[in-house]
């Protein structure tokens, strides 16, 4: 695989995830967009902090065997 192919491949996956689509790469796994809600965390000093909601990517590898 060339560097140009890998860069283009990454752009295609990114664009599909931005559009909230899952991407299956046969032999590798699935990329899926997920939304993480706002969370409350307690720090070591005892203070509570709210983390903002965010979008992330979940990857599930293909099980081989």
Residue with tokens 């000093």: 45
**Mean pLDDT of the 6-28 span:** 93
Q: Nearest Cα to 1, choosing from 25, 21, 22?
A: 25
Residue with tokens 């046969």: 26
Say what the pTM is.
0.67
- Superfamily (CATH H level) for 3-61: IHF-like DNA-binding proteins (4.10.520.10)
Kindly list the domain boundaries of the chain, sorted by start residue. 3-61
**Mean pLDDT of the 2-28 span:** 93
Query: Is the pLDDT confidence value at 62 over 70?
Result: yes
What is the per-residue DSSP string for the chain? --HHHHHHHHHHHHHHHHTT--EEETTTEEEEEEEEPPEEEE-TTS-EEEEPPEEEEEEEEPP--
């Amino acid at each position: 695989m060339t560097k140009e192919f890998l860069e283009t491949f990454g752009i295609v996956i990114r664009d599909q995830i931005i559009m909230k689509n899952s991407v299956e790469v046969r032999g590798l796994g699935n990329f899926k967009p997920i939304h993480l809600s706002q969370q409350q965390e307690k720090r070591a000093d005892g203070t509570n902090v709210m983390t903002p909601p965010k979008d992330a990517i979940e990857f599930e590898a293909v099980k081989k065997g």
